[in-house]
A and B are shown apart, each in its own frame.
Chain A
């Protein structure tokens, strides 16, 4: 995460540039809407109204956001250490195995507030274990983590099909999913919080795992900026050479960072399984792990940014569903396009507009980009 260009004021760096990138992404998305013969402005209005217009929409937006906070944090933790965890999808999926086993075993005997911590541990452990081999191979044998985690996504998919068909589904059932969890493994809803503000909600899956997500965001902030391990991770991310010189164990730091990342990705499975569907089904992650990449890039790898970006993507998912309903030419896949455009403009092309913004700042106030300071030193 190096900075190849001169410094901008912090608010421009963390506020203005992401907003410009996002605006361009939406502009291009608007063209796609034009291409299918709809009015992009009306589409935007429907999208925002669908997401925030009613209490129901807000609850769904926050429900989607919950999963994305987890997956965004997962990508961010690895990225701070200079690693790209593209395997959140697989780690979340395989965590469903841990959650499934815990819930099926305890939902009839324990209340939810005892099952939930057990399930959290199981999900985090499965996610972390699933990334252990790729992390070890990266640290010890130098195999590229991106490729190995992609491969593990596919292996996870095969394992889950095998597990669901083989032993997780009830013997009499044909559908490859577990039985519905009993009350002991159903997370309480948080819809009443939104209802406090006077909105009415018929039924929405917004649940207590949202609070867990926020807690994790805080913990990640503490980890990255307030602990020794986080400092070592950031050092390694900036310069592996410097970290080695400083005596930081490469193997340890890579494996730790990736396992924390994997654990966070694993926890994202709690929301759709215990919070919404009350079972573990095929493909229940449905791309949320990949959304995390967009969320982390959009949030500039900072927990606050990630929570905001996750809510933005939650809005896109919820509003996108409404949009597909209102405008038949636009399907929910519009979100996937927007997601791709956000990744492109906020991630791969993040520096495209920087020189222009810098030139603008330099002409308006040279002091803000530090030009004067350098001149002063020279004279």
Chain B
């Protein structure tokens, strides 16, 4: 039974750790499917986390915090759009710029406004998103096997966790069952064809980036208002890049993205759990190897050894209308 409890605990933290990855990964999916590379996911999450925690603590409302997180994150997404769509700049350079501006400005404004070394004040429980206990979760806790699964894994998460997992089928529906999704995929593969059909390439790509901004904003809010009770400097700690790796791993598909993020979240949870304990058969695995595993897996995937990851064809190329 101890082993079972341990597994449940690892899976529970897998869910918690994979939520920010999943939101950021879906965010990246919108922009990359529309043909805009976005390595600025990291920065957008960071400003979202900061804006969320800062305004939640000032206005004493979790929902205002979430709203501000989304707003600021979308603003950064639009800067990326302005540079890479309107001015046809290099999308990677623009993404790098956004990451730097985000990293610097969150710490500086945090320090100037709250004087806590770049942190925001600790959030009270009503300024955060609390756990939602599903009906009957406490009653069935004692039931073997199914009880803990229901009460620990399914129930007891914050609303943003459920939002993240509902975003997966929603994204699938948008992408493959709506006109907007069809056009968005088309604009990522062959923008000239979309343009010929009389649809604005720029406006489509801007809309995709707004979706990206909304999702990275929620991801940031999750980090600073659910996982942590406040903003800490550089709290994204490379999650934006792992999300990007997950996106490639998922071959730019929403359901795959969920599994990729769960896998990377699981590796993270496992590396925390296994710190220093030897594994059967393999012996003691260095923590660093576990931490590097998502990146190594992505490189192997990119190399084409486990199936081939083919990015949207027009990705990274600014669209120039023929003159």
Contacts and interface: CB of A to CB of B under 8 A. Distances in A.
B90 A151 contact: no
Contacts of B309: 143
Contact of B94 (A141, A333, A347): A347
Interface residues of A, number: 49
Interface residues of B, number: 51
Contacts of A339: 100, 104
B276 interface: no
B84 interface: yes
Contact of B87 (A141, A151, A337, A351): A351
Contacts of A86: 39, 92, 96
A159 B289 CA distance: 8
A293 interface: yes
Interface stretch (B55-63, B105-113, B139-147, B150-158): B105-113
B292 A351 contact: no
Given A143-B302, A151-B299, A154-B292, A343 B93 contact: yes
Contacts of B91: 348
A351 B89 CA distance: 7
A349 B302 contact: no
A340 B295 contact: no
Nearest to B84: A348
A307 B226 CA distance: 46
A148 B104 contact: no
Interface of chain B: mostly helix, strand, loop or mixed:
helix
B121 interface: no
A93 to B, nearest CB: 13
Interface in A136-171: 137, 141, 143-144, 146-148, 150-152, 154-155, 158-159, 161-162, 166
B101 A341 contact: yes
B187 interface: no
B120 to A, nearest CB: 15
Given A152-B299, A348-B89, A143 B107 contact: no
Given A144-B302, A340-B101, A331 B241 contact: no
B269 interface: no
14 contacts: A36-B113, A141-B304, A143-B309, A147-B298, A151-B296, A161-B288, A162-B288, A166-B286, A331-B118, A333-B111, A338-B104, A339-B104, A347-B94, A348-B97
Interface of B: 37, 39, 79, 82-84, 87-94, 96-105, 107-109, 111-113, 118, 238, 241, 244-245, 248, 286, 288-289, 291-292, 295-296, 298-299, 302-304, 309, 311, 320
Given A329-B111, A348-B83, 7 more contacts: A155-B292, A330-B108, A337-B100, A340-B103, A343-B100, A348-B94, A351-B89
